[in-house]
Amino acid sequence: MADTISSQDLPKIKRNNVGNMKDMISNLPDGILHYILSLLSTKEAVRTSVLSPKWRYLWTQLSTFDFKIPHPLYETNHQNQNSANCLLDLVGRLLCKSNHVERLCVEILKITIDADKVSSLISSAVKHNVHDLQLSIDDRKYLDTKYVLPNCFSASKSLNKLVLQLGFLLYIPDGIRFSSLKILNLSYVRFANEKSVQQLFSGCPVLEELTLYKCIWEYINHITISISSLRTLTIHSDSSCLDYDHYDSCTVTIHAMNIVSLTCTSTPTLKFDLVNPTSIIDANIGIEFDYPQSEVYAANCVFGLLSGLSGVKSLTLTSDTFQCLYLSADTLNLLPLFHNLTNLHIIPSGDMEFTFEVLLDILHKTPKLEVLDIPMVFCAHLEDEDLTINSVPCCFETSLRSFCISNFYGYEAEVRLVKLLLENATILEEMKISFLECLSSNLEHLTNVMNQLGPSDQGNCVTMFQ
């Protein structure tokens, strides 16, 4: 009788039956019904309002809402705009009536709506104590639309997290203040001028996490980030963020008083200036130059940045970043000693030209290295006898515990490196060599390589091949 009903059975069930059966779920305590609704997507939860009168307003008591209008297939037309406006009105009304909204996400992309509606949504959200606000309102028609971020943010005592993706040309008003904002995430934001940027950052006195993702620096040459409470900073930019002619003129000055974790990825490179970087513990750098930047400029930028990071414990770099340095070979030697660095992780990127020489030079700068992870390594000059190492990096002998090479092809340089490690790395515990697909399928080459590597069990080292 009351078996779980599959979708195929449904049409067969006569509606007459419903009258005889008692409603099984609506009598559950409201708290449980709210919990169930919170497990559904916002769309599904709102849909339950048509189930029966009891369910009509149940969804409005939820605390997290994710409203997204899917990308329209065609250009903005009246219908889409109506949906968008309708949605904004609904959200506004919801905020007014409900005391519980804590997390609100509204995403309306590729549909133009009035900037006024955005402002009223923001002021409504602020007024009703939303903790976590995410607004993604972007359409290329906004490109020249100026928008001043509403000052009502200053009145908010509860806003902890703000994620903004606004396609407008953004002006930040004077004196704006985000008194409780801990996490700020700006994506694709186009700042109108430097003053706006400064005003925004100085208005976040307790900010702990800042992310600038593909923000457009078209009108800006110099950005200063000086927030004393900041602990995590992520800056990601690509060629869409800068004006072609001004690739070389953008500088980011970071006052890293308390920053613990820094991530900078930019192609073409921005010039990063680190002030007081002693607190940084882990850094993730992915810098590459892009035409028409000069390689030398890029190398200088990378050098400057890496010099500032000499105190980090854990460093993740893309192979391209290293190659930038290599292009100005002398500068490598001028790098300071990374006296705290225990984990070095190199991610393959771009052309994956990661040369042996560069690796060795770096390893000479990392006396306390414990974990080394590289994608591959090869040598530009195969016949060069200098491939025989002058001096084994001291970390091999004193600190290296774990080594991993993820895209092993069997280049001579790779084989030499592995042999070098096996011979000299006395406290190496674990070596992991992952073969590239093309190597493992080429049996002949594989056996060749394995032979070259020689016996793999030496000392305490456990070698894993895969």
Partner 1 sequence: MSEIDMSVIKPEMMKPYIWLQTSDGSIQQVEQEIAMFCPFICQEIIQKGTGSSKNCAICLPEKVSPAMLSLVLDYCRFHQVPGRSNKERKSHDEKFIRMDTKRLCDLTSAADSLQLRPLVDLTSRTLARIIEGKSPEEIREIFHLPDDLTEEEKLEPLKNTTDDPRIRLLNRLYAKKRKELKERGRLKNVELEEEHVDERSVDDLLSFINGNDGDSKGSKTSKNKKKNRRKKEQKKNSTLTEASEVKKELSGHSAVSDKIAGTSNMYTEDDTFSHKEFDDDEDVDDEIDPALQAKIDRHICSESRLLQRIVGLPQFTAATTATAEGGSQADGVAPNPTTAILFRYSALLTTYDDDN
Q: Would you count residue 7 as binding partner 1 (CB under 8 A)?
A: yes
Helices 319-327 and 356-363 pack at an angle, to 10 degrees, of 90
Residue 232 region by backbone torsions, left for phi larger than 0, else alpha for psi between -120 and 50, else beta: beta
Helix (H) or strand (E) holding 334: helix 329-334
8 Å CB contact between 63 and 92: no
Which is nearer to partner 1, 39 or 443 (by Cβ)? Answer: 39
Q: Would you count residue 155 as binding partner 1 (CB under 8 A)?
A: no
Applying CB under 8 A, among 8, 11, 383, 390 the residue interacting with partner 1 is: 11
State how far the Cα of 298 lies from the Cα of 287, in Å rounded to an integer: 8
State how far the Cα of 442 lies from the Cα of 450, in Å rounded to an integer: 12
Q: Would you count residue 8 as binding partner 1 (CB under 8 A)?
A: no
State how far the Cα of 89 lies from the Cα of 149, in Å rounded to an integer: 20
Q: Would you count residue 278 as binding partner 1 (CB under 8 A)?
A: no
Which is nearer to partner 1, 24 or 443 (by Cβ)? Answer: 24
* Segment lying near partner 1 (by CB under 8 A), choices 39-47, 141-149, 170-178, 393-401: 39-47
Q: Would you count residue 366 as binding partner 1 (CB under 8 A)?
A: no
State how far the Cα of 106 lies from the Cα of 127, in Å rounded to an integer: 17
Q: How far is the CB of 42 from partner 1 (least distance, A)?
A: 8
Which is nearer to partner 1, 31 or 455 (by Cβ)? Answer: 31
Q: Would you count residue 30 as binding partner 1 (CB under 8 A)?
A: no
Task: Using CA atoms of 446, 451, 453, 459 in order, give the dihedral in degrees to the nearest 10.
Answer: 130
Q: How far is the CB of 96 from partner 1 (least distance, A)?
A: 9
Question: What x/- string results for residues 61 through 100 when contact with partner 1 is judged by CB under 8 A?
Answer: --------xx-------xxx-xx-xxx-xx--x---x---
State how far the Cα of 156 lies from the Cα of 133, in Å rounded to an integer: 12
Applying CB under 8 A, among 8, 30, 55, 426 the residue interacting with partner 1 is: 55
Q: How far is the CB of 11 from partner 1 (least distance, A)?
A: 7
* Segment lying near partner 1 (by CB under 8 A), choices 22-30, 262-270, 288-296, 413-421: 22-30
Q: CA nearest 126: which of 180, 85, 173, 75? A: 180
State how far the Cα of 150 lies from the Cα of 168, in Å rounded to an integer: 13
* Segment lying near partner 1 (by CB under 8 A), choices 24-32, 142-150, 180-188, 194-202: 24-32
Applying CB under 8 A, among 30, 57, 292, 380 the residue interacting with partner 1 is: 57
Q: How far is CA 226 from the centre of its chain?
A: 21
Q: Would you count residue 32 as binding partner 1 (CB under 8 A)?
A: yes
3-class DSSP state of 78: helix
Q: How far is the CB of 59 from partner 1 (least distance, A)?
A: 10
Q: How far is the CB of 27 from partner 1 (least distance, A)?
A: 8
Tokens read off for 15: 């509606």
Applying CB under 8 A, among 8, 24, 333, 457 the residue interacting with partner 1 is: 24
- Which residues are 238's β-sheet partners? 267
Tell me how far apart the terminal alpha carbons of the chain are, to the nearest angstrom.
Answer: 55
State how far the Cα of 219 lies from the Cα of 133, in Å rounded to an integer: 27
Residues contacting partner 1: total by CB under 8 A: 56
**Within 13 Å, how many C-alpha atoms sit on residue 117's CB side?**
19
Which is nearer to partner 1, 27 or 240 (by Cβ)? Answer: 27
Helix (H) or strand (E) holding 164: strand 161-166
Which is nearer to partner 1, 2 or 443 (by Cβ)? Answer: 2
User: Which position has the token pair 């190597």?
Assistant: 439
* Segment lying near partner 1 (by CB under 8 A), choices 28-36, 213-221, 231-239, 269-277: 28-36
Q: How far is the CB of 188 from partner 1 (least distance, A)?
A: 23
Q: Would you count residue 351 as binding partner 1 (CB under 8 A)?
A: no
8 Å CB contact between 379 and 411: yes
Which is nearer to partner 1, 1 or 443 (by Cβ)? Answer: 1
Phi and psi torsions of 284, nearest 5°: -130, 110
Which is nearer to partner 1, 58 or 461 (by Cβ)? Answer: 58
> Where along the sequence are the contacts to partner 1 (CB under 8 A)?
2-5, 7, 10-11, 13, 15-16, 18-19, 21-29, 31-32, 35-37, 39-41, 43-44, 46-53, 55-57, 69-70, 78-80, 82-83, 85-87, 89-90, 93, 97
